[in-house]
Amino acid sequence: MKSHYRVVVIGGGVVGASVLYHLAKEGWSDVCLIERSVLTAGSSWHAAGGFHALNADPNIAGLQAYTIDLLSEIEKESGQSVGMHMTGGMTLAGTPDRWEWLQSAYRTFQSIGIEDVHLITPEEAGELCPIMSTHGILGGMWAEREGYIDTTGTVHAYAGAAKKRGAQVIEHNRVLELNQTAEGWEVVTEKGTITCEHVVNAAGLWAKQVGRMAGIELPVSPLNHHYLITDTIPEIAALDKEMPLVVDLEGFTYMRQDQKGLLLGIYEIDHQHWMMDGAPWEYGFELQQEDPDRIENELTLGFQRYPVLQEAGIKSWVNGAFTFSPDGNPLVGPVRGKPGYWCACAVMAGFLQGGGVGKSLAEWIVHGEPEADVFGMDVARYGDFAENKEFIRQTTGQFYTRRFVMTYPNEQLPAGRPLKMAPAYSDMTAAGARWGASWGLELPLYFAPSEDFEEKPTLKRSNAFPLVAEECKAVRETAGLLDISGFSRFEVTGPGAEAWLDHLLASKLPAPGRAKLAPMLAPDGRLKGDLTVFNWGDGTWWIMGSYYLREWHMRWFHDHMGDGVTVRDISDATVGFGVSGPNARKIVEKLTDGPIAELPFMGCGTFDIGLYRCKVGRLSVAGELGYEIHCSAAEHIGLRRILLEAGADLGLREVGFNALLSLRLEKSFGIWSAEFTQGYTPAQTGMDRWIAWDKPDFIGKEAAQAERDSGGPSTHIVTIEIDAADADASGFEPVWQNGKRVGFVTSGGYGHTTGKSLAMAMLDQSATTEGTQLTVHIVGAERPAKVIAPSPYDPSGKAMRA
């Protein structure tokens, strides 16, 4: 062991070994892995070792596909067998909704280029797995590249390949302390102290403690997980082929062959947390006592699905802990305010996702950004609110319990809610608001006519569809009132504020009293934000963006901070309402004697609105004449009240974010995580029209110019109209032209004003011409579509500039 390394990886499981390998593959050989015991002594040794294609986040599914490809490579490179059994696998559906969802998921895989999957009938499922009962199965999805590996062998293969590239593995050496230094980190271990530039927390069951060593409270918790392994089963021993991996979603089980018997794993409804503050340091190769009574219902379903189990002996039980995050996805990336500290935690499916996590994190450390859009596993998708132990208990438990439970796009889950509420939450609830959650904050989705109304979970248009239509009609014809607490607000001040913003943002900065749309780029030219910047004219600037990106954006600001600049996140202290529609000006004029009628489109200023001194911007995501009125949190209730009173005779009604989705689609306005992501460039998304190319310098200028001067991107966002029936596109549905896949939907919904099912899509440049005939799969069904001109509602923008 040396006294200094460039990177120290803490944790000898599959994730830590993968990070070490990928760092060495990137050419950083001066790296080491420190393990308190021996490699695999945590969750890795007792993992079931299955790998499969399915994931709800297509970006993570892509990283899983990378991991599957990588396994054979590290086997060759290391000389260590990973024990790969490429048996193929199937995911089963036993309800009509699940079958529709599986058909939709199949099309999503096509969208992201995973071609080795196809749908199968119950009869085909029975032929592929003859020991299985097909009773109740409506269909399934078959994937060629599914199966299982030897978990211990795989960890040693990653580590062995890393060592061949110059990395070092140090076992039997627990980390005792982490101390931040001017140059990086001091890692105090049982065998001595190491200094390094970067430290990676890949500690698995001990991630909580290793986080706390650096003053970080990670939202993770271990939960126990059962599987059983049978003795030899004669029916399996007699077969001339190996059984495929099978996921029975309605049965809460997964199955694979184990020698001549079966391994049956359970995701039980009655979950059980274990050691929420982290595993004991001496823990390693132990297991918890099996608890068949707790998983009795799921076991019964498993034994019904595989009747051979009813006569089989059980050779062994495994009841061991795995670490989960609130949404089940990994926690990866840098932590704000802790330069050189990196997370690679909560990788619940380590043997499936470990390769992708290692690749992305190594790229991040070495190059400053990962190649893929990894926001779905970025540690910055959570904030301080997620550090609460009860929040962690509820949300991780909910994820585990619902691992195989059908979740609908319009379904609102209860764990950890309500957590953060705008001050007028109770009044809006009394008015019929139905709520969703964003980064812990309750957001109004729509307003229901009675307490008895309940939206029914569905993959198609729900019974709330006509309610949203009425809200859209109000915005277009009279006026709508939207709680805009669910946007982020950053206050930027100081003598260096203007220069810093000018370098940070790719657009020109607005003049005093004006606002401007502002793309923010990474050095490689990809997007880092679709923001709105306000110049209040008194030396104070605001940046507004997506509420759920608060920590992500603050980390970016912090990492690119300039001299003489102060950035404050005021998102919870400053809230407000938006008034949009033809009568918006008349309503706001009733409440002020200031010159608000003179405020131009994209203008901003300070006005007295009733008793409240508010910051007002004239803009609207709905594409109508609109005002965003910002007040202090203490004034939120009163501001709502006076706005409703002023608009009572002008048709003002409260609306939710579901209506805003429809309204913005009719204007072809993109949103983050759909049309705009860190995987896209401004030219792909149309954000390049806001770039000030004549600025001397801004982050990402060189890369953006190179793309522009090389002829532009090969794909581009367009608006399409779909001949839909009872369902609309939502995202990642494949788009076809004459049987060839030419792109995918980024987001979609129903345009209640235009009466059309609309979507925005990322298409090959050859398919972006207006009028191009296409087809799109909506909930698995292929529907006709065509490219239309942007902004199908009010394309000239007269309404919002009125």
pLDDT > 70? residue 334: yes
Question: What's the average model confidence in pLDDT over 45-61?
Answer: 82
Count of beta carbons in the 10 Å neighbourhood of residue 181: 11
Can you say whether the dihedral through the CA atoms of 517, 523, 527, 528 is positive or negative? Answer: negative
Pairing of the two strands 612-617 and 433-438: unpaired
The pLDDT value recorded for residue 65 is 87
The pLDDT value recorded for residue 61 is 80
219-230 pLDDT, tens digit per residue, is 999 999 999 999
617-626 pLDDT, tens digit per residue, is 999 999 999 9
In CATH, the number for domain 4-330 is: 3.30.9.10
Q: How confident is the model at residue 579 (pLDDT cuts 50, 70, 90)?
A: very high
Quote the tokens at residue 742.
Answer: 């030419």
Question: What's the average model confidence in pLDDT over 672-682?
Answer: 97
pLDDT > 90? residue 702: yes
% pLDDT > 90, the chain: 96
Question: What's the average model confidence in pLDDT over 305-327?
Answer: 97
Q: Are 477 and 580 in contact (CB under 8 A)?
A: no
pLDDT > 70? residue 56: no
Q: In terms of C-beta distances under 8 Å and separation of at least 24 residues, what long-range contacts does 187-193 make, across chains too?
A: 187/8, 187/10, 187/34, 189/34, 191/1, 192/1, 192/3, 193/3
Question: What's the average model confidence in pLDDT over 490-516?
Answer: 98
529-576 pLDDT, tens digit per residue, is 999 999 999 999 999 999 999 999 999 999 999 999 999 999 999 999
Q: Are 42 and 13 in contact (CB under 8 A)?
A: yes
Question: What's the average model confidence in pLDDT over 54-65?
Answer: 77
The pLDDT value recorded for residue 59 is 77
Could you state, in order of their start, the residue ranges of all structural domains in the chain? 4-330
How far apart CA 772 and CA 587 sit, in angstroms, is 43
Question: What's the average model confidence in pLDDT over 741-754?
Answer: 97
Q: How confident is the model at residue 116 (pLDDT cuts 50, 70, 90)?
A: confident
Question: What's the average model confidence in pLDDT over 44-71?
Answer: 85
N residues, the chain: 802
For the entire predicted model, the pTM comes to: 0.96
Count of beta carbons in the 10 Å neighbourhood of residue 746: 26
Q: Where does 55-191 show beta strands of DSSP type E? A: 89-93, 117-120, 139-143, 147-148, 168-170, 175-180, 185-189
Question: What's phi and psi for 170, nearest 5 deg?
Answer: -120, 110
- Radius of gyration of the CA atoms of the chain, in A: 27
